[in-house]
Amino acid sequence: MAATELDKLRNVGIVGQGGSGKTSLGEAILFAAGMTQRLGKVQDGTSVLDHEAEEIKHHVSISTAFHSLAWKKYPMTLIDTPGYAAFLADSINSMRAFGGAVFVLNPSVGLRVESERLWAQANENRMGRLLFVSKMDHEQANIESRITPMLEILEGKGIYLQLPIGVEANFKGVVDLLSMKAYLYEGDSGKFSEADVPEELKIAAEAARQRLVEDISETDDELLEKFLDGQELSVDELKKTIRRATGERKLFPILYGSPLRQIGIAQLLDAVIDYLPSPVDEVEVEGSNPINGETIKRAATLDAPFSAYVFKTIIDPFAGKLSVMRVMSGKISSDVTCYVPNRQVREKVGHMFRLEGKKQEQVKEAAAGEIVAAAKFKDVATGDTLCDEKAPIQYSGPVHFSPNISFALEPKTKADEDKLPQGLHRMKEEDQTIDLHRDEETRDFILSGMGQQHIEIVVEKLKRKYGAEVVLKAPKVPYKETIRGTASAQGRLKKQTGGRGQFGDTWLKVEPLSAGSGFEFVDQIVGGAIPRNYIPAVEKGVREAMASGYLAGYQMVDVRVTLYDGSYHDVDSSDMAFKIAASMGFKNAVEKAKPVLLEPIMNMEVSVPDECMGDVIGDLNSRRGKVLGMDTKGHTQVIKSRVPMAEVLKYAPDLRSITSGRGEFHMEFSHYEELPAHLAEKVVKEAKARKTAEQEGEHKAHG
């Protein structure tokens, strides 16, 4: 892209909670701009943005998709992000690629936590936003009553640039309050004509415009003075002010439309050009000098040295590994060599592509502000920086998400088992929220991810892309252990076996820490009771003992361990001896410090029709759930509750049968709580049985 074009480029992200209509909006935009000949539809599997097999099958976006277009000679890259909690990591990390977003609001349902999370991240990234009230053709409650609480939760000053013309099935266009023109759409064709404001809306439009002008003026002293003076403010002047205030996140312009019916799309695209930033307007990006750690600022200009941030990785069946990057400064071309400061390696750039839905267009060059995918880098992963070695810079890495649910995987055949680790390894390159490990105790493959839906889709992909077929077994609850009391104990290892013996002696105190603090090790040895060089071995012994727990083999957390005394032997002491002694001492102390099991508690939101509410609440109660509150949304009740994860491992089919398929739920990890004693007893017993079975197994194997 030429330098003269950079200030015209718009990288525009479409962001919002699951099912709000983002992909449908993306499709409507592509169609309006002439990029597609037919309007792609999520429900029909004809979307060019939701193009992966699993996206088509489930009608949800799983991975961020890209497409370029031009609107009134302004080049744009559309970035359609997923909205459901299970896939939010990709959306949040893709936000690094765009400086402006269209935040989609669905007026027929309220805001969910996903919206709040995305909004908070956009604030952190200092991102300008337009709010698009979508699905205006759909049945809904009074619109104002929907939008006002949304704006309150989102802590933004929203300004209404339009008035909708008609509601629900009769929605047919918008009044632009700045120009005081009406845009009337003909059926679902996307064709519209400009007209005068309809008679019945004139008074409302005048009042709304008055309020709008006032809100805009308040963000600019000069304008405010003119306004208070009673002077007329020009549309141009108002637009410029909106643009500035949107960039500074003082104002969030609101527009209406219906992607499915092709209404309001042209006006939204005009607003993207008018109010969302080009790469040149975006705040300078900050990085650090990888050599001395000093902060460096880079402007998105062509003459600056090259740098780029890899925000996403795609494993493509044809092109292989694609590192999707946003060029931050300078330019990159095929055949140059760039530097990866965090790995201290060089990579030669080969083929580069622009991503167009499921297709790729080869490009030779990409300039600051552009999004481009480079093929077949060996040592580059999501979150890496690429730069000119002569002007090194390191950008901060991705936001990390910790998996909140785990399933055991059972490969169908030996061949599947062999393909499993390799397949998952490749998938992990694309999706850093997946974790696969082998349970030390049960030897099961354990797959962890961001929710049941996520895990199920990983399994489908595993089969489709890597030919590894597995069956999911009941997920394992990631219990944890902690202590409720304080105690001290000795751990002493003394072995005299023939030649050299082993000797280590430690005195440890264990104390509970507040939830979420993890582990603290305090060394209080004075006067050389234990020589300094053995202290790390003591800490290591304690850490290892923490990892395998005390009651039932689960990770112990929130404990402070203080090493306050001990003794050693000149000849027989060693790191190994102290490690073992410390682990014994830790167990001895924990035994006296009231160890307990902790279980994960989920935040759960269930949306159900009125008539099912009683049954659903009854069922939640029987699962040890606590109902926190209820919201009425039309004929739908949203039940908010906290439920132990152990009770909702397979909630989806149960809810389906209670509500005849009309219920929906979302859950997210909330916190850990102590497991009630009678249940803890069961978990401990099961762990013991597992252990015995295993020892017997080993015994047989050896015998």
Ligand X SMILES: Nc1nc2c(ncn2[C@@H]2O[C@H](COP(=O)(O)OP(=O)(O)OP(=O)(O)O)[C@@H](O)[C@H]2O)c(=O)[nH]1
Region from 23-31, 103-111, 606-614, 620-628 binding Mg ion, contact rule CB under 5 A: 23-31
What span, in angstroms and rounded, lies between the C-alpha atoms of 178 and 174?
Answer: 12
Among 6, 10, 21, 22, binds Mg ion (CB under 5 A): 22
Q: Closest approach of Cβ 94 to ligand X, in Å?
A: 12
Q: Closest approach of Cβ 20 to ligand X, in Å?
A: 4
What span, in angstroms and rounded, lies between the C-alpha atoms of 47 and 49?
Answer: 5
| Residue 259 touches which member of Mg ion, ligand X, none, C-beta under 5-8 Å by kind | ligand X
What span, in angstroms and rounded, lies between the C-alpha atoms of 59 and 43?
Answer: 6
Which of residues 33 and 49 has its CB atom nearest to ligand X in the complex?
49
Q: Which of residues 53-72 bind Mg ion (CB under 5 A)?
A: 61
Backbone angles phi, psi at 462, to 5 degrees: -60, -40
Whether the Cβ atoms of residue 212 and residue 177 lie closer than 8 Å to each other: yes
Which of residues 8 and 261 has its CB atom nearest to ligand X in the complex?
261
Q: Closest approach of Cβ 104 to Mg ion, in Å?
A: 9
Q: Residues 526, 529, 533, 539: is their CA dihedral positive or negative?
A: negative
Which of residues 241 and 452 has its CB atom nearest to ligand X in the complex?
452
Which 3 state secondary structure label does DSSP give 386? strand
Q: Which of residues 286-305 bind Mg ion (CB under 5 A)?
A: none
Q: Closest approach of Cβ 257 to ligand X, in Å?
A: 7
Whether the Cβ atoms of residue 445 and residue 438 lie closer than 8 Å to each other: yes
Region from 18-26, 284-292, 308-316, 536-544 binding Mg ion, contact rule CB under 5 A: 18-26
| Residue 134 touches which member of ligand X, Mg ion, none, C-beta under 5-8 Å by kind | ligand X
Q: Closest approach of Cβ 598 to ligand X, in Å?
A: 32
- Residues in contact with ligand X by CB under 6 A are 16, 18-24, 42-43, 60-61, 82-84, 134-135, 137-138, 258-260
**Torsion, CA 590, CA 591, CA 592, CA 593, rounded to 10:** 40
Which 3 state secondary structure label does DSSP give 441? coil
65 burial (CB, 10 Å; 0-12 / 13-18 / 19+) is buried
Whether the Cβ atoms of residue 121 and residue 33 lie closer than 8 Å to each other: no
User: Judged by CB under 5 A, does residue 23 bind Mg ion?
Assistant: yes
Look up residue 380 and give its two tokens: 């580059």
| Residue 37 touches which member of Mg ion, ligand X, none, C-beta under 5-8 Å by kind | none
Chain position carrying tokens 């990631």: 478
Which of residues 32 and 584 has its CB atom nearest to Mg ion in the complex?
32
Nearest to 590 by CA among 613, 556, 565: 556
Q: Closest approach of Cβ 675 to ligand X, in Å?
A: 34
| Residue 448 touches which member of ligand X, Mg ion, none, C-beta under 5-8 Å by kind | none
Nearest to 137 by CA among 103, 115, 112, 164: 164
Q: Closest approach of Cβ 32 to Mg ion, in Å?
A: 18
User: Judged by CB under 5 A, does residue 135 bind Mg ion?
Assistant: no
Which of residues 23 and 267 has its CB atom nearest to Mg ion in the complex?
23
Q: Closest approach of Cβ 256 to Mg ion, in Å?
A: 20
Look up residue 538 and give its two tokens: 């003591």
Which of residues 13 and 18 has its CB atom nearest to ligand X in the complex?
18
Count of residues that interact with Mg ion, criterion CB under 5 A: 3
Q: Closest approach of Cβ 23 to Mg ion, in Å?
A: 3
Which of residues 18 and 128 has its CB atom nearest to Mg ion in the complex?
18
User: Judged by CB under 5 A, does residue 91 bind Mg ion?
Assistant: no
| Residue 419 touches which member of Mg ion, ligand X, none, C-beta under 5-8 Å by kind | none
| Residue 382 touches which member of ligand X, Mg ion, none, C-beta under 5-8 Å by kind | none
Q: How far is CA 288 from CA 20, 324, 396, 408, in A?
A: 37, 21, 8, 41
Look up residue 45 and give its two tokens: 């599997």
| Residue 20 touches which member of ligand X, Mg ion, none, C-beta under 5-8 Å by kind | ligand X
Backbone angles phi, psi at 560, to 5 degrees: -105, 130
Q: Closest approach of Cβ 266 to ligand X, in Å?
A: 15
Which of residues 20 and 382 has its CB atom nearest to ligand X in the complex?
20
Which of residues 61 and 482 has its CB atom nearest to Mg ion in the complex?
61
Helix (H) or strand (E) holding 447: strand 445-449
What span, in angstroms and rounded, lies between the C-alpha atoms of 178 and 224?
Answer: 17
Q: Closest approach of Cβ 59 to ligand X, in Å?
A: 6
Q: Closest approach of Cβ 27 to ligand X, in Å?
A: 7
What span, in angstroms and rounded, lies between the C-alpha atoms of 151 and 339?
Answer: 44
Which of residues 278 and 433 has its CB atom nearest to Mg ion in the complex?
433
What span, in angstroms and rounded, lies between the C-alpha atoms of 346 and 380?
Answer: 10
Q: Closest approach of Cβ 15 to ligand X, in Å?
A: 9
Q: Residues 685, 691, 695, 696: is their CA dihedral positive or negative?
A: positive
Whether the Cβ atoms of residue 387 and residue 407 lie closer than 8 Å to each other: no
Which of residues 115 and 482 has its CB atom nearest to ligand X in the complex?
115
Which of residues 241 and 433 has its CB atom nearest to ligand X in the complex?
433
What single string gives the DSSP state of each residue in 545-609? HHHT-SSSSPPB-SEEEEEEEEE--TTT--HHHHHHHHHHHHHHHHHTS-EEEEEEEEEEEEEEE
| Residue 137 touches which member of ligand X, Mg ion, none, C-beta under 5-8 Å by kind | ligand X
Which of residues 135 and 243 has its CB atom nearest to ligand X in the complex?
135
| Residue 84 touches which member of ligand X, Mg ion, none, C-beta under 5-8 Å by kind | ligand X
Look up residue 626 and give its two tokens: 């606590």
Look up residue 555 and give its two tokens: 């990770």
Nearest to 606 by CA among 615, 594, 616: 616
Chain position carrying tokens 């003459």: 303
Q: Closest approach of Cβ 50 to Mg ion, in Å?
A: 6
Which of residues 18 and 600 has its CB atom nearest to ligand X in the complex?
18
| Residue 21 touches which member of ligand X, Mg ion, none, C-beta under 5-8 Å by kind | ligand X
Look up residue 542 and give its two tokens: 């304690």
| Residue 314 touches which member of ligand X, Mg ion, none, C-beta under 5-8 Å by kind | none
Residues at the site binding Mg ion, with contacts judged by CB under 5 A? 22-23, 61
